[in-house]
């Protein structure tokens, strides 16, 4: 089996490994012939580790590993008001003993209390982060860097993370996850035609692509559905970040545009804005499996996967793996649209 050695990179363990791979037997029984003989499995990164889990923890293992190695006492990051990355950064820094500051923009046009004060936003405060709320058009990273400079002037050692933790260092988390998936599939005696995930800040997909490419596997095995940027920009971001991650790993292998398997058709009118197919997917998973998809990321991505399966994209008898990336607290910020 291909392997990838990332041991030289500092890592702060946050994820209970390996996260399980489970078949969706209840959904299969419910949908029957609509699945065209395709089996869907899920990898449960939504239940990983601390802070109610999620894919950002894999990135934070390497980001906080680097921060601790540099002697940092404070971590600062950015995101939207309902950012899963911000919530998990707050949880992980609390565990690591670092101070945490979050710069959160009002990037989704909602002002209701469910959105501005519940879900992830509630947990940011509970985990003890200092939160700075900014208008939707603000340059949150510039504001974060200015705050970091001010803290450094006071003698603090500050480490800043980009949106979603999707730097090359953060992407190592999903390069490592690619090795975990390959090991699990071998142990389970499975072969997956596709590994499917959501694409927000591009780091999860880019990490998978980099990990697969570094192990001489087909990077197109990983496919994402864009939920933040429109397809051309999302595709370019995955490509850039995958190659930057490969360079960090130290391999000469690089990927090209043809290696990026990405679909932007299920994004809807914009980031964080519900779609009818997302609502169907979230309710279907909950009512047939008792598992929770979030309305911003995995709900739209799973809607895309169901569309592809029903459209006959995958041959009968094949198996597809859906990466459940978490985001469960966001459900409570979308109470009104999910009720019913």
In a domain, 136, yes or no: yes
Task: State residue 133's pLDDT score.
Answer: 96
The residue among 333, 271, 338, 339 whose CA lies nearest residue 82 is 333
In a domain, 7, yes or no: no
In a domain, 15, yes or no: no
Tell me: do 34 and 82 sit in the same domain. no
Tell me: do 159 and 213 sit in the same domain. no
In a domain, 261, yes or no: yes
Give the domain-ending residue among 128, 148, 165: 165
Tell me: do 37 and 71 sit in the same domain. no
Tell me: do 287 and 307 sit in the same domain. yes
The Cα-based distances of 86 to 96, 170, 262 in angstroms read 15, 14, 25
In a domain, 108, yes or no: yes
Residue 70: which domain range?
A: 56-165
Tell me: do 240 and 202 sit in the same domain. yes
Tell me: do 160 and 210 sit in the same domain. no
Tell me: do 175 and 192 sit in the same domain. yes
In a domain, 1, yes or no: no
Q: Give how many domains the chain has, as a whole number.
A: 2
Task: State residue 340's pLDDT score.
Answer: 64
In a domain, 96, yes or no: yes
Give the domain-ending residue among 145, 165, 185: 165
Tell me: do 258 and 304 sit in the same domain. yes
Tell me: do 139 and 224 sit in the same domain. no
The residue among 32, 51, 33, 55 whose CA lies nearest residue 42 is 55
Give the domain-ending residue among 115, 133, 165: 165
Tell me: do 240 and 181 sit in the same domain. yes
Tell me: do 62 and 151 sit in the same domain. yes
| pLDDT average per 10 residues of sequence, the chain (340 residues) | 90 94 98 97 95 97 98 97 97 98 94 92 98 95 97 98 96 98 96 98 98 98 98 98 98 97 97 96 98 97 98 97 97 88
Tell me: do 310 and 197 sit in the same domain. yes
Q: Which are the catalytic amino acids?
A: 83
In a domain, 183, yes or no: yes
| CATH code, domain carrying 88 | 3.40.50.1100
The span from the CA of 158 to the CA of 166, in Å, is 18
């Amino acid at each position: 089996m291909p392997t990838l050695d990332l041991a030289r990179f500092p890592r702060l363990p946050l994820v209970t490994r390996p996260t399980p791979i489970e078949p969706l037997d209840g959904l299969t029984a419910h949908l029957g012939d609509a699945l065209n003989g395709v089996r869907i499995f899920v990898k449960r990164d939504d239940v990983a580790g601390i802070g109610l889990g999620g894919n950002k923890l894999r990135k934070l293992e390497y980001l906080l590993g680097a921060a601790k190695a540099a002697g940092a006492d404070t971590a600062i990051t950015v995101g939207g008001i309902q950012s899963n990355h911000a919530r998990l950064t707050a949880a992980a820094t609390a565990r690591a003993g670092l101070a945490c500051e979050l710069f959160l923009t009002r990037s989704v046009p909602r002002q209701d209390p469910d959105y501005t004060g519940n879900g992830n936003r509630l947990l940011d405060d509970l985990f003890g982060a200092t939160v700075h709320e900014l208008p939707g058009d603000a340059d949150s990273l510039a504001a974060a860097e200015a705050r970091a400079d001010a803290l450094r002037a006071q003698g603090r050692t500050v480490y800043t993370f980009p949106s979603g933790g999707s730097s090359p260092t953060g992407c190592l988390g999903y390069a490592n996850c690619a090795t975990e998936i390959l090991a699990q599939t071998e142990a389970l005696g499975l072969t997956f035609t596709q590994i499917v995930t959501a694409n927000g800040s591009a780091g999860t997909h880019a990490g998978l692509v980099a990990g697969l490419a570094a192990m001489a596997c087909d990077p197109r095995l990983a496919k994402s559905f864009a939920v933040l940027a429109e397809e051309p920009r999302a595709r370019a971001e995955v490509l850039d970040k995958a190659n930057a991650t490969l360079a960090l790993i130290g391999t000469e292998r690089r990927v090209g545009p043809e290696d990026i398997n990405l679909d932007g058709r299920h994004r809807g009118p914009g980031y964080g804005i519900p779609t009818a197919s997302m609502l169907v997917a979230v309710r279907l998973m909950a009512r047939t499996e008792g598992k929770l998809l979030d309305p911003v990321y995995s709900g739209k991505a799973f809607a895309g996967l169901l569309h592809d399966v029903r459209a006959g994209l995958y041959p009968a008898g094949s198996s597809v793996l859906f990466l459940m990336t978490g985001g469960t607290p966001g459900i409570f910020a979308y109470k009104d649209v999910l009720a019913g």
